[in-house]
């Protein structure tokens, strides 16, 4: 009996440690972005979003495999930029960002004249595993064929690192007790709202990432733009 007890004590930690994503997979989707907004969204234009700095550029790969610069994709539109990785197991992490942007895209498509003024971008911070075809497959799960949502990656870590640093997007590869990479990435969820002049105007974390708040912020920026002289709109 004692022999079997020792066997169980030895095996159980190994079984638990064999799945580094287990805790995240068992997590429940509790973030506000999965539910109705708990308070009335403010009226667009009733508040101001001060500029938080310039949105950085960098070379990225499209999910078709082509190369371009991030700023080229901004295309003088209001941009919503999320940083994700496709294997993220935490429902309150990257899947939340993609869920909220999918809901946002549907709302944009249902609003006349809005889809041509907003660009959604999702950039992977795992270029080792998230190749262009992986991003294309991931994108099919979320985006509408009628929308303007690009799923991006980078050539390698060297191309990615300066982009992450410029956006203050913290990412770290998790390692086990022996120092071996587990495949999981620790990161902060950050989604950026960028105006038509390439300035960051809001940064959303898990607790504030919601379709309704994004939508009212987008309308606020567009109202602000419409009230500016033509020479200041770009």
Instruction: Measure the CA–CA gap between 76 and 198, rounded to whole angstroms.
Output: 8
DSSP3 helix / strand / coil % (the chain, rounded to 5)? 35, 20, 40
Mean pLDDT of 176-203: 87
Instruction: Measure the CA–CA gap between 172 and 175, rounded to whole angstroms.
Output: 9
Instruction: Measure the CA–CA gap between 197 and 206, rounded to whole angstroms.
Output: 26
Q: Which of 32-46, 158-172, 219-233 has the weakest average pLDDT?
A: 219-233
Q: What is the pTM of this model?
A: 0.85
- pLDDT over 90, % of the chain: 75
Q: Indicate whether 203 pLDDT > 80.
A: yes
Quick one: angle between helices 211-226 and 94-109, nearest 10?
Answer: 50
By C-alpha distance, which of 189, 206, 212, 216 is closest to 82? 189
By C-alpha distance, which of 187, 55, 180, 51 is closest to 126? 187
| Residue 92 structure tokens | 């309150």
Q: Could you report the per-residue pLDDT of 71-107, keeping only the tens digit for each?
A: 999 999 999 999 999 999 999 999 999 999 999 999 9
**pLDDT for res 70:** 98
Instruction: Measure the CA–CA gap between 65 and 164, rounded to whole angstroms.
Output: 21
Q: Give how far the C-alpha of residue 176 lies from the chain's centroid of Cα atoms, to the nearest Å.
A: 26
**pLDDT for res 230:** 62
Which residue carries 């999965």 as its tokens?
34
Mean pLDDT of 206-227: 97
Q: Could you report the per-residue pLDDT of 33-44, keeping only the tens digit for each?
A: 999 999 999 999
Q: Indicate whether 146 pLDDT > 70.
A: yes
**pLDDT for res 182:** 66
Domain extent listing, the chain: 47-173+181-232
Binding-site residues for Cu cation sit at 88, 94, 187
Mean pLDDT of 150-161: 97
Q: Could you report the per-residue pLDDT of 166-188, keeping only the tens digit for each?
A: 999 988 777 777 767 766 777 78
Binding-site residues sit at 88, 94, 187
Class at the top of the CATH hierarchy for domain 47-173+181-232: alpha beta
Q: Which of 19-28, 32-41, 78-87, 218-227 has the weakest average pLDDT?
A: 19-28
**pLDDT for res 4:** 39
| Residue 159 structure tokens | 């191309």
């Amino acid at each position: 009996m004692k022999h079997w007890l020792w066997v169980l004590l030895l095996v159980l930690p190994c079984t638990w440690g064999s799945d580094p994503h287990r805790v995240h997979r068992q997590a429940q989707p509790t973030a506000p972005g999965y539910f109705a907004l708990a308070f009335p969204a403010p009226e667009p234009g009733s508040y101001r979003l001060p500029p938080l700095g310039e949105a950085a550029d960098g070379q990225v790969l499209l999910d078709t495999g082509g190369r371009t610069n991030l700023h080229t994709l901004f295309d003088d539109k209001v941009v919503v930029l999320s940083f994700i990785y496709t294997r993220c197991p935490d429902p309150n992490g990257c899947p939340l960002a993609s869920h909220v942007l999918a809901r946002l895209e549907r709302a944009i498509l249902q609003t006349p004249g809005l889809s041509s003024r907003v660009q959604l971008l999702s950039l992977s911070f795992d270029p080792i595993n998230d190749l262009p075809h992986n991003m294309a497959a991931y994108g099919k799960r979320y985006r509408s064929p009628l929308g303007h949502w690009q799923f991006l990656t980078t050539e390698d870590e060297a191309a990615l690192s300066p982009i992450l640093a410029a956006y203050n997007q913290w990412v770290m590869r998790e390692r086990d007790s022996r120092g071996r990479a587990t495949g999981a990435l620790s990161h902060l969820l950050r989604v950026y709202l960028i105006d038509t002049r390439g300035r960051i105007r809001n940064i959303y974390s898990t607790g504030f990432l919601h379709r309704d708040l994004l939508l009212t912020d987008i309308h606020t920026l567009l109202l602000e733009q419409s009230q500016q002289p033509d020479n200041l709109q770009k």
